[in-house]
Structure 1
Amino acid sequence: MGLVIAAGISYFSASWAAYFSLMDAQSNFYSKQNLCEGFVYLNRAPSFLESKIAALPGISDFETRISKEIVLDFPGEVYPSAAQLISLPEHTNTLYLKKGFLPKQNQDVIISENFANANHLEPGSVLSSIIGGKRVFLHVTGIGLSPEFVYVFRPGNPMPDDKHYGIIWMKREAMEANFNFEGAFNQVIFHFASEGEDRLRTMRDLDALLDEFGGLGAKERKLLPSDSFLSDEFRQLRTTAVFLPGIFLAIAAFLLHIISNRLISKEREQIATLRALGYTSRDVVVHYLKLITFITAISSILGVTVGYFLGNGMTGLYGRFYKFPQLIPIFPPLLALFSVSFGILIGGLGTIISLRSIIQLDPAQAMRPAPPGTYTISFWEAWITNLRTIQRMVLRNLFKRPTRTILTILGLSTSIMIMIIGNFIQDTVGTLLDLQFNTIQKETLTLVFRIPVEDSILFELKERKGVFLAEGQRSIPIKITKNRKSKDTVLTGISEGSDLRRILNHNLQPIDIPVYGIMMNTDLANKMGIRKGETIVIETLDGEKRKITVTVSAFANEILGQGVFINRNNLNRMLDEGSLINLALLKTDPLEDKNLIEEFKDNPLVIGLFSKSAILTAFKAVMQRSLQSTSIVILIFTIIISIGVIYNTAMITLSERIYELGSLRILGFSLKEVFEIIAWELTWQIFVAIPIGCFFGNKLANLILNSNETEGFKIPVVIFPSTYYYSILLALTTAGISFIIVYRKLKTMDLLSVLKVRE
């Protein structure tokens, strides 16, 4: 019992310790490096607009910059890498330099730490890049961190791939020369001069100023990709810090209730004697509360001790993904005090209901042995007349005490439920990977073109050796607005009957792109309050801005992302353009991928190249790093709780039945027959608890994933049969071990001391 409480408290305190550590590191990093409060991306704007931006009353400080994505080529590396190249900041979003020095020459750069570590780069390394169709060699002078990129991932792929994507900072003059951006910029980062509605007015004023230059709309800090992801992660951590320990401690409270209730029933005569001798109900209640408080306090202190070290480990694990200059584990004394108090409170709540019976106890009546239960022959007993005597005794005992039987079954079911919770995430992630990379995305290579090109290029691609199939897509950034809600997303034009890009419905079955109208992600539609058949207005944010009226004709169930889809021919017509594409999906021979990639890397039309196998490898590596450690911790706790529940149930049953079992031994029942009674009683309850535990485990898994759902991720709950089998097997194994212990206790039972009258 103590280990069950300790497990809950340790996970509770460790999760909150990691949360406080991350929040402290984030707050310090954002403050010291002056992270912007707002930002806006655009196509290209002249530098003379800076004076107009400075004149806006709602902006206290701002900085313009240049940002472009470039392709990197590492010798000996099959798959190409990419990087976001950004002009060096002056006073906003400043860099924390971990190694080296700031760039001095035009081709000097600073690179992000994770990218440097993944590619074994140090100050002095040279990078081969493709900038503007030309090969440019970049000299690494330093390795740094930015508050804007605590979590780095490539647009369109929400999982980090540090091996193939990073952030690079270069002198502003060098970027102007390389990209022909003299006297121009394409991003603004700024701080607000006020709060609330004034911020909205400031962003509208800024949008009006930059709209004609392809402004994509001013946004607040919370919509920065890294900060948005961190906010979701912190919210999940808060939820987990309450939810999972809450389950553990609720089980502990439930078991404490059963134990204390049966303990009081067992000691009713002693309690009555104390009451008759002048002790008040309050005195007796306080005695039992002290007993439970001592047990829970010791268990909670053990939990806090384990939680301290576990919290340090969790903080270190988060530090692998979220790069802060200083991520120091924090374990506030108040957290330790609260955790211990919380554990004691849970113990008190689990016991207090049972203690009511002490107050209601009549001393004169309770000093006598408890009267036997009222037993009558039930109609169902006619069906079990052919069973052995022991089997009939077991079934009668279970049905004649329904409350105790139900509570025991519920307690046993939690052991199976908690094991399912500890294992299901592996099944879910495996299914997610299979759906995303084998059902939805069937291409092996994806090409991103610098500018939209005629789809006739697909015929050229098909002629290349190793290319089995080629399909084109046209995608543009859009803004969807309804009432006061708006959302920036991507509208993707997919060819009718596409074989390489499938869209799923709510049953996760592939469906065709509608002939007319658009297909919207279900979650996005729900958030925007958009219904099927509704006509909405979308605004294109790429190139010439235009507002287009479209009908929502179908819904999609995307796992990764919140996109909107349309027939590609319809999108081309809406944009008044020819049959253009800006992405090409290729189904290729894996043996020819290396040669194809080498060809595409040097193609000036290709600005991005994605390999499904490389993305999948990176995805699995991230999942293995993140899930393996946390899953092991949760699994250890769930095993402790599962064993604790079953073992405690067996010991409680033995303790309260010891007098009856001893009497049966005196009456001539053998040790084997007496053991059979208690073993069969527990076995029947375990068998009934198995489906109940599986049912609650499934529902709880859904609840956990729904409470942790984030924008860009919709993970379907999948639990493999093997997970159910494993959970059931552990429960049965624990029951078997408990039976061995029960048998040994019965074998060594002193019948004289068990049966003597207690005065």
Structure 2
Amino acid sequence: MIGMTKVYLKMLFREIRHSKARFISIMLIIFMGVAFYTGIRASGPDMLQAATNYYAKQRLATQTVQSTAGITPADLKILKQHDHNLTWQATKSVDINQLNNNRVVRVAEIPTHQRLNRVKVVSGRLPKRANEIVLDQQARTLQPRLRLGGTYRIATTKGFNRQFTRRQFKIVGFVNSPRYLETTDRGVTTVGKGTLDYFALVKPGTLKQSLYSRVDVAFDNLKGVTPYTAAYNRRSKTNTAKLKHWFRPQAAKRQQQLQRQARQQLAPEQQKVNLLRQQLPSSSPILQQAQTRIKQAQAKIATIDQPNYLVTGRSANPGYSEYHENTQRVVALSTVFPLFFIAIAALICLTTMTRMVAELRIQMGTLKALGYSNAAIGSEFLFYGGLASLIGTLLGVAFGVNFFPQFIAQAYGNMYNLPAIHVQYIWSDILIALVIALACTIGSALVALRVDLTSLPATLMLPKAPKAGKTLWLEHWHTLWNRLSFNHKVTLRNLFRYKQRLLMTVLGIAGCMAMMITGFGLKDSIGDISVKQFNQLWHYDAIVVRTGRQTAAQQQALHHEALYRDDLVLKQSQVTVQKAGVANQTASLSVPQHPDRLKQFVVLRDRKTHRRQALGNHGAIIDEKLAKLYGVKAGDRLPVKLGNQPLKSVRIAAVAENYVNHFIYLSPTYYRQVFRGKPVFNGNLVQFNHHAKRQQDAFANNLLKHKGLLNVTLLSTEKQTNFQMLDTMNLVVIIFVVAAGALALVVLYNLTNINVSERIRELSTIKVLGFYDREVTMYIFRENLILTVLGIIVGCFFGNWLHHYILTTAETNNLMFSPGIHPISYVYSALLTLAFSLLVMAIMHRKLKRINMLDALQSVD
């Protein structure tokens, strides 16, 4: 038995040594399939684990409580009663519009002991003195002049300025907060343009306000529970319900307190009126006016409503829910994308093992004649394929798990403030990959052996009869067939004679072509966003936001700017779209004062037909991505929340093309119908007559010097901010093209090598007949060229489908890719595929030149 094992091992390794190219090609195809499968499958869990560790380390709160009337010490006593079940931390903050740098900033006091939402210092340190401040890392991106040791000055409106004990600070650090997972999104506000740019943290005592802005809560029952899981969501929902129950009685108490405070403030006035009543007759106009004022004040006190206590979970934090959705997108990609490699690997392995069985027929017949069992004879092929699978799987796992998660995390790195991921081996996926790899090789070997193992030794020891030729349907087309040369006729006959090879080659090349089209198509889809959004759809250059309606002085200041060409007055505010099962989305609500002029500034059109859409009085126009997220269409309704108002239902009149962020356009008439009030036209869309950056900055700075003008958003800045994260997507394109190229080389080389091996006697014969080396190569190359062209054609259809799938899977919630692929991308993909085919033929040309014709003709096979 030992001797038998040694003999078999010698046979096995001799076969590997004599067919190195075949063994390596099987190993490579398995390597690529396993690398993509295990690598991309590990990316989602790795990203989630990085987030889980970050939330735990920074102690991200599980719930947040806010009140429309502020958080009082009495509210905090409610939480103190439950200290044994939770941890809480109250914070004071104020949102300001910086008039000296055109940014909306949330200034908050950092607690002395950060029990929750611990900020992570990126550079510098936390403030130790009253005159020190730390800024959001995003501030350094938006304002590159900000640096450690520099001076930061708060310069906002007089009312907000009075809320600070000091307004000039020394910058001692830059930080990230777990409350803001995204690098750019800081949430909405009622100040300025409606969205926050960044936050700043100061020492306690800097803000004069007596009430807290919010209180963060972390329940003990969620410690150690993995975020985003069903268990976490179930407990978090229960905890939110508890907080709402605890604070429900506080609403009535706080209402009574506010009314009592208002009456106390009114008491001195009431005393003055009582004195006037004693001194003046009841018909006195002064007394009547004073009494009227008192009655009006008392009526206002009576109408003070109960404050709303808003309890939110982590999903209200910008980026928290979307990060999870992005990891799920990666998981979805890992389910379908590697199937291309696995399917092609199975096809190539079947072809290769079939050829190997055909080559070793005589050896199988000899062993069978010597009394070896079918199991013993077949074990050589199983070991051969199994060894290639095992080595390919080990190398694929080592490369895929260590490369793809890092690569994908880096692609998302510009979007989120998260630490680097730690690679983890998911053994269930690795086991599945190994089983698939073994099924591709061992399964293919069993399929190839199913006939030969049941044959008699005498049959196996005879050469297999060559595949019979068939009359082609093309031969009946005498006019064309008779015009073809001998070589062309032979090429066509060989193509349809070996149908399995034709199918394998076409599908293999089609898969490679599909991946290249997807890579170049992604580049097109990303690049088109900028062109379509900022050149075709938006025809304005700046957004100006005011405190209220436009005054004559503000209008004159705007019209006298050198850059000014035209403007559209509108209401501009941020709303939240809320619906169960979908992460909350922030959208820009715009109400133009003159809807008929909107088309000069914004193109509202159907993406497919380009049919223009007019803003009417019976519904809103929303963007396509928002409609997709909430599964709505024209005629449906969308739940929208504006500020502290109750949730409103907006009817959708049309869905318009859009790629960046979300919008909702309403006419003034429909706005009044939905929100029960007249819109305050607090903004302008402004068009410039030229676009020099320095002059645009001067335009913004000049306007902000005028009273009542809060913010100027330049679209050139928005374009730069929105698309810097998309630069990393070029890496995705490179990966697709490189992977497709590697796959094309392996597939073409393997199939061409098999083709040459199967027809070695035929090639030797034509070489003996006097064909030159170049003519012998062309004999094979013509077939490869035709198969490559067929694969390119089929790959165009596969590529379109794969590109569409990846776009719909990889899109973020506030971004929609342009779905079209440029014609030139098909050309690039086809040329690269042809280039790989030429490279393989160049390698094969050298091999064909070294064929020993006499040995080949003397062989039995």
Q: TM-score range by the shorter chain?
A: 0.7 to 0.9
Q: SS at the partner of 2:712?
A: strand
Q: After TM superposition, give the deviation of residue 221 of structure 1 in Å.
A: 0.8
Relative to 1, partners in 2 of residues 1:566 and 1:482: Cα closer, same or farther, differing over 3 Å? same
Q: Which moved more, 1:127-136 or 1:422-431?
A: 127-136
Please name the residue that 1:367 is paired with: 461
Q: After TM superposition, give the deviation of residue 539 of structure 1 in Å.
A: 5.8
d(CA) in 2 for partners of 1:368, 1:465: 93
Relative to 1, partners in 2 of residues 1:316 and 1:541: Cα closer, same or farther, differing over 3 Å? closer
Report the AA paired with residue 507 of structure 2: L
Relative to 1, partners in 2 of residues 1:457 and 1:68: Cα closer, same or farther, differing over 3 Å? same
Residue 817 (structure 2) pairs with residue 715 (structure 1): yes
CA offsets per residue over residues 679-721 of structure 1, 9 Å max, x none? 1111111111111111111110111122223322222323222
Please name the residue that 2:120 is paired with: 96
CA offsets per residue over residues 154-181 of structure 1, 9 Å max, x none? 3589xxxxxx943311234323x3xxxx
Q: SS at the partner of 2:779?
A: helix
Residue 422 (structure 2) pairs with residue 330 (structure 1): yes
Q: After TM superposition, give the deviation of residue 477 of structure 1 in Å.
A: 5.1
Which of the numbers 654, 666, 681 marks the counterpart of 1:566? 666
Please name the residue that 1:160 is paired with: none
Q: After TM superposition, give the deviation of residue 663 of structure 1 in Å.
A: 2.8
- Could you tell me whether the CA contact under 8 Å between 1:257 and 1:350 is conserved in 2? yes
CA offsets per residue over residues 534-572 of structure 1, 9 Å max, x none? 4x58564325x2565653322234323344331244325
Which of the numbers 107, 116, 141 marks the counterpart of 1:85? 107
Q: SS at the partner of 1:553?
A: strand
Q: SS at the partner of 1:676?
A: helix
Alignment of 1:419-430 (within 5 A): 419-430=516-527
Relative to 1, partners in 2 of residues 1:389 and 1:547: Cα closer, same or farther, differing over 3 Å? closer
d(CA) in 2 for partners of 1:437, 1:127: 33
Please name the residue that 1:555 is paired with: 655
d(CA) in 1 for partners of 2:172, 2:527: 41
Please name the residue that 1:296 is paired with: 389
Q: SS at the partner of 1:154?
A: coil
Residue 591 (structure 2) pairs with residue 493 (structure 1): yes
d(CA) in 2 for partners of 1:711, 1:196: 23
d(CA) in 1 for partners of 2:66, 2:441: 56
Q: After TM superposition, give the deviation of residue 575 of structure 1 in Å.
A: 4.1
Please name the residue that 2:206 is paired with: 174
CA offsets per residue over residues 231-287 of structure 1, 9 Å max, x none? 233223333445444433433333222222233234334334333433333334332
Relative to 1, partners in 2 of residues 1:477 and 1:61: Cα closer, same or farther, differing over 3 Å? farther
Relative to 1, partners in 2 of residues 1:302 and 1:342: Cα closer, same or farther, differing over 3 Å? same
d(CA) in 2 for partners of 1:627, 1:294: 37
Alignment of 1:585-664 (within 5 A): 585-588=685-688, 589-591=690-692, 592-624=695-727, 626-664=728-766
Which of the numbers 13, 27, 37 marks the counterpart of 2:62? 37
Residue 156 (structure 2) pairs with residue 65 (structure 1): no
d(CA) in 2 for partners of 1:432, 1:608: 26
d(CA) in 2 for partners of 1:391, 1:724: 28
- Could you tell me whether the CA contact under 8 Å between 1:479 and 1:486 is conserved in 2? no
Please name the residue that 1:131 is paired with: 156
d(CA) in 2 for partners of 1:318, 1:27: 16
Please name the residue that 2:238 is paired with: 198
Report the AA paired with residue 748 of structure 1: R
Alignment of 1:358-757 (within 5 A): 358-361=449-452, 362-364=454-456, 365-383=459-477, 384-451=481-548, 461-476=558-573, 478=575, 489-490=586-587, 491-494=589-592, 495-498=595-598, 499-507=600-608, 509=610, 510-522=612-624, 524-525=626-627, 528=630, 530=632, 532-534=634-636, 536=637, 538=639, 540-542=641-643, 545=645, 550-572=650-672, 574-578=674-678, 580-588=680-688, 589-591=690-692, 592-624=695-727, 626-667=728-769, 669-757=771-859
Residue 213 (structure 2) pairs with residue 189 (structure 1): no
Report the AA paired with residue 358 of structure 2: S
Report the AA paired with residue 382 of structure 1: H
Q: Which moved more, 1:91-100 or 1:199-208?
A: 199-208
Q: After TM superposition, give the deviation of residue 72 of structure 1 in Å.
A: 5.0
Report the AA paired with residue 368 of structure 1: L
Relative to 1, partners in 2 of residues 1:227 and 1:35: Cα closer, same or farther, differing over 3 Å? same
- Could you tell me whether the CA contact under 8 Å between 2:401 and 2:423 is conserved in 1? yes
Q: After TM superposition, give the deviation of residue 415 of structure 1 in Å.
A: 2.0
Please name the residue that 1:256 is paired with: 349
CA offsets per residue over residues 58-99 of structure 1, 9 Å max, x none? 98443343444445578xxxx744433233244221223455
Considering fraction of residues, name the structure with more strand. Answer: 1
Q: After TM superposition, give the deviation of residue 229 of structure 1 in Å.
A: 3.1
Residue 287 (structure 2) pairs with residue 230 (structure 1): no
Q: After TM superposition, give the deviation of residue 197 of structure 1 in Å.
A: 5.2
Residue 446 (structure 2) pairs with residue 352 (structure 1): no
Q: SS at the partner of 2:813?
A: coil
| RMSD, aligned CA | 3.7
Count how many residue pairs are aligned between Structure 1 and Structure 2: 738
Relative to 1, partners in 2 of residues 1:610 and 1:485: Cα closer, same or farther, differing over 3 Å? closer
Report the AA paired with residue 292 of structure 1: G
CA offsets per residue over residues 286-311 of structure 1, 9 Å max, x none? 32222123223333343344446636
Name the % identity: 19
Structure 1 residue runs of 5 or longer lacking an equivalent are 158-163
Q: SS at the partner of 2:330?
A: helix
Q: SS at the partner of 1:184?
A: coil
- Could you tell me whether the CA contact under 8 Å between 2:773 and 2:849 is conserved in 1? yes
Q: Which moved more, 1:720-729 or 1:521-530?
A: 521-530
d(CA) in 2 for partners of 1:481, 1:518: 16
d(CA) in 1 for partners of 2:625, 2:414: 30
Please name the residue that 2:132 is paired with: 108
d(CA) in 2 for partners of 1:49, 1:274: 92
Q: After TM superposition, give the deviation of residue 748 of structure 1 in Å.
A: 1.9
- Could you tell me whether the CA contact under 8 Å between 1:281 and 1:359 is conserved in 2? no
Q: SS at the partner of 2:155?
A: strand
Q: SS at the partner of 1:131?
A: coil
- Could you tell me whether the CA contact under 8 Å between 1:42 and 1:216 is conserved in 2? yes
- Could you tell me whether the CA contact under 8 Å between 2:65 and 2:311 is conserved in 1? yes
Report the AA paired with residue 691 of structure 1: I
Please name the residue that 2:12 is paired with: none
Alignment of 1:135-150 (within 5 A): 136-150=167-181
- Could you tell me whether the CA contact under 8 Å between 1:444 and 1:586 is conserved in 2? yes
Q: After TM superposition, give the deviation of residue 109 of structure 1 in Å.
A: 1.6
- Could you tell me whether the CA contact under 8 Å between 2:633 and 2:654 is conserved in 1? no
Q: Which moved more, 1:385-394 or 1:525-534?
A: 525-534
- Could you tell me whether the CA contact under 8 Å between 2:41 and 2:429 is conserved in 1? no
d(CA) in 2 for partners of 1:124, 1:312: 37
- Could you tell me whether the CA contact under 8 Å between 1:203 and 1:219 is conserved in 2? no
Q: SS at the partner of 1:360?
A: helix
Please name the residue that 2:433 is paired with: 342
Relative to 1, partners in 2 of residues 1:552 and 1:56: Cα closer, same or farther, differing over 3 Å? farther
d(CA) in 1 for partners of 2:511, 2:638: 50
CA offsets per residue over residues 415-449 of structure 1, 9 Å max, x none? 21122223322111101111221223222111233
- Could you tell me whether the CA contact under 8 Å between 1:518 and 1:552 is conserved in 2? yes
Q: Which moved more, 1:395-404 or 1:46-55?
A: 46-55
Between Structure 1 and Structure 2, whose CA radius of gyration is higher? 2
Alignment of 1:300-319 (within 5 A): 300-307=393-400, 310=403, 314=407
Please name the residue that 2:191 is paired with: none
TM-score for the superposition, normalised by structure 2:
0.77
d(CA) in 1 for partners of 2:199, 2:609: 36
